[in-house]
């Protein structure tokens, strides 16, 4: 019998009260494993009121004490790492090793949050005028919310929640309804670590819950990661209701392969970055730009590797690529492959008809590889979010950079080359938020910040790192005079400071 997943409100798991539910499936078998409650606006409001009351004391707590709690959060996540990864695999489909890697990247931001006492320190200036000093401080916003996607059900809630809570806010998580079990466990671990009831809550739901958060007068800030269409809606709706919004959205990440690149290294990188997690990553490489005469050589190396990909259930240690998250998404990805063939791209490797014995109802497909893709094709313009890699030919370096810069998305990119001059010119001139040089998935470490450009982001703040601190706090500056003698007389104008 399918289990029931509710919400985590005021420090405990509670059943849903709306009467509406969504189904959760094991993507490897197609089996329905759970029913997840979909919150009403009233349930969202109840969580916000709990958070609002709890945040006052939490925000007033010395940052060092909040940091000590975050150290306990880190310890508990590390102890339960395999349990969390197993939940990820069973509901998302990614391989167990990939799931453990996701938990690890989330932990890096929790570790950064452990230093919050240092990160929130202000500035002090003595004697800005005679007997007058000034200082700045960062203070929490209050109740903030995070809307997170299905492809990283733990990592992104850690990116948002750890930073928001460490900064002194109360945080309400609205995870994807497709794979909610791991983020629900995360809320329990925060509570077990000593985060007070109401400070880290989870509301499962669909558009009704999202809209309730976007329009709630007591939620001043929203973080979002997901598709560009929904991100644009979240940004415009949130800002229209006077909220601070960071919305990290879709991508079409290019890897430029120069003629001097190490092709064995490049091929390894493309296989991992293009087909890892079945391509369901916003930092996946989905376009390889072959410069000069390197294209045929690259195809020659890629074809047998894509054909040999070991596709299977994520808990099988032999699997290199698991299933896609849902049957609907599988059909959508296959539809893009059909369209690519129709538009004239050359389908060099076709993984659409892959069938696995014993897993006939799973959401599996093999890797697909296109050659001779052109910028006018839909498979080039759209984010497919599946195991589909496109090869585009470019005559020279300048053509390759123009290709990357002309695309609507600007999340991540990479160049593979042995030439330092080409690498430096690429890094300096490409209009993309995150750049790798011989690094295929350039996700910044926790003490830098993650964020794209162009249609890949709405809002001015990146996620985690010092960008996260700035997003989840507001700046206050104090100017103070400490007179040493008796002064009299009103002042009616600004005085020049000497």
pLDDT in tens, 65-110: 999 999 999 999 999 999 999 999 999 999 999 999 999 999 999 9
DSSP secondary structure code for residue 311 in this structure:
B
Output 491 or 244, whichever has higher pLDDT.
244
Q: Answer whether residue 445 is part of any domain.
A: no
226 in a structural domain: yes
* 269 and 235 inside one domain: no
The reply to whether 278 and 395 lie within a common domain is yes
Domain for residue 491, yes or no?
A: no
- Same domain flag for 327 and 267: yes
CATH number of the domain to which 321 belongs: 3.40.309.10
Same domain, 109 and 162: yes
Instruction: For residue 340, give its domain range.
Output: 253-437
- The tokens for 155 are 């990592």
Residues 242 and 277 in one domain: no
Confidence category of residue 484, pLDDT binned at 50, 70, 90: confident
User: Given a cut of 80, is residue 129 above it in pLDDT?
Assistant: yes
pLDDT tens digits, residue range 30-73?
999 999 999 999 999 999 999 999 999 999 999 999 999 999 99
What distances in angstroms separate CA 366 from CA 141, 284, 390, 477, one per listed residue? 46, 16, 15, 57
Question: Cα–Cα distance between 354 and 321 in angstroms, integer?
Answer: 12
pLDDT tier for residue 122 given thresholds of 50, 70 and 90: very high
Mean pLDDT calculated for residue range 109-118? 97
d(CA 17, CA 40): 8
Q: Does 111 share its domain with 238? A: yes
pLDDT at residue number 1: 62
Pairwise CA distance, residues 287 & 253, whole Å:
6
Q: Are residues 151 and 263 in the same domain?
A: no
Of 193, 106, 81, 204, the residue nearest 147 (C-alpha): 204
Return the pLDDT at 486: 52
**CA pair distance 272, 443, nearest whole angstrom:** 14
Question: Do 214 and 317 sit in the same domain of this protein?
Answer: no
pLDDT at residue 496, rounded to an integer: 64
Per-residue pLDDT at 494 exceeds 70: no
The pLDDT confidence band at residue 492, using thresholds 50, 70 and 90, is low
Question: Per-residue pLDDT averaged across 341-368, rounded?
Answer: 97
Q: Is residue 41 part of a domain?
A: yes
Task: Please report which confidence band the pLDDT of residue 490 belongs to, taking 50, 70 and 90 as the band edges.
Answer: low
Question: Are 232 and 126 contained in the same domain?
Answer: yes
- Choose, from 114, 158, 282, 368, the residue flagged as catalytic: 282
**pLDDT tens digits, residue range 198-236?**
999 999 999 999 999 999 999 999 999 999 999 999 999
Please, are residues 30 and 363 in contact by the beta-carbon 8 Å criterion? Answer: yes
Mean pLDDT score of the chain, rounded to an integer? 96
pLDDT value of residue 487: 57
Cβ 214 vs Cβ 222: under 8 Å: yes
- Tell whether 442 is covered by a domain: no
Residue 282 among the catalytic residues: yes
What percent of the chain is predicted at pLDDT more than 90? 95
CATH at residue 31 = 3.40.605.10
Q: What is the pTM of this model?
A: 0.94
Among the listed residues 303, 461, 466, 316, the one whose alpha carbon sits nearest the alpha carbon of residue 391: 303
pLDDT at 489 over 80: no
pLDDT tens readout for residues 145-174: 999 999 999 999 999 999 999 999 999 999
Together in a domain, 181 and 268 = no
Model pLDDT for residues 417-468, shown as the tens digit of each residue: 999 999 999 999 999 999 999 999 999 999 999 999 999 999 999 999 999 9
């Amino acid at each position: 019998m399918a289990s029931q997943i509710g919400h985590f409100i005021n420090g405990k798991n509670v059943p849903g009260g709306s009467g509406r539910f969504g189904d959760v499936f094991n993507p490897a078998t197609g089996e329905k494993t759970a029913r997840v409650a979909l919150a009403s606006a009233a349930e969202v409001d109840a969580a916000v009121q709990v958070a609002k009351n709890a945040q006052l004391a939490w925000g007033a707590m010395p940052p060092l004490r909040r940091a000590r709690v975050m150290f306990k959060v880190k310890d508990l996540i590390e102890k339960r790492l395999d349990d969390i990864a197993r939940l990820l695999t069973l509901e998302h489909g990614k391989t167990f090793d990939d799931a453990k890697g996701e938990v690890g990247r989330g932990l890096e931001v929790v570790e950064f949050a452990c230093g919050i006492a240092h990160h929130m320190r202000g500035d002090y200036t003595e004697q800005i005028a005679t007997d007058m000093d000034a200082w700045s401080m960062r203070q929490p916003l209050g109740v903030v919310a995070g809307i997170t996607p299905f492809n990283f059900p733990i990592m992104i809630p850690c990116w948002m929640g750890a930073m928001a809570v460490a900064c002194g806010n109360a945080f309400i998580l609205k995870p994807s309804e497709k794979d909610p079990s791991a983020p629900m466990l995360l809320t329990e671990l925060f509570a077990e670590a000593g985060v007070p009831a109401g400070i880290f809550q989870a509301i499962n739901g669909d558009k009704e819950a999202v809209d309730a958060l976007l329009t709630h007068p007591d939620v001043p800030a929203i973080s979002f990661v997901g598709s560009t269409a929904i991100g644009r809606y979240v940004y415009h709706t949130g800002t229209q209701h006077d909220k601070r919004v960071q919305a990290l959205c879709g991508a079409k990440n290019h890897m430029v392969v120069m003629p001097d690149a190490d092709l064995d290294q490049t091929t390894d990188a493309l296989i991992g970055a293009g087909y890892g997690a079945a391509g369901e990553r916003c930092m996946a490489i989905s376009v390889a730009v072959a410069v000069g005469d390197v294209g045929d050589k690259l195809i020659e190396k890629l074809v047998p590797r894509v054909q040999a990909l070991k596709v299977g259930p994520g808990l099988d240690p032999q699997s290199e690529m698991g299933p896609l998250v849902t049957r609907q998404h599988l059909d959508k990805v296959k539809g893009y492959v059909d369209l690519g063939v129709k538009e004239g791209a050359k389908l060099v490797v076709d993984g659409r008809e892959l069938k696995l014995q014993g897993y006939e109802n799973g959401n599996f497909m093999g890797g697909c590889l296109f050659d001779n893709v052109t910028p006018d094709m839909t498979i080039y313009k759209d984010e497919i979010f599946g195991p589909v890699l496109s090869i585009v030919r470019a005559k020279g370096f300048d053509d390759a950079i123009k290709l990357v810069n002309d695309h609507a998305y600007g999340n991540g990119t990479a160049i593979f080359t042995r030439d330092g001059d080409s690498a430096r010119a690429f890094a300096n001139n490409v209009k993309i938020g995150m750049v790798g040089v011989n690094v295929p998935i350039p996700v910044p470490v926790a003490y830098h910040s993650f964020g794209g450009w162009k249609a890949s982001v709405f809002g001015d703040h990146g996620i985690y790192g010092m960008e996260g601190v700035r997003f989840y706090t507001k700046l206050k500056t104090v100017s103070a005079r400490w007179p040493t003698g008796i002064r009299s007389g009103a002042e009616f104008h600004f005085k020049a400071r000497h």
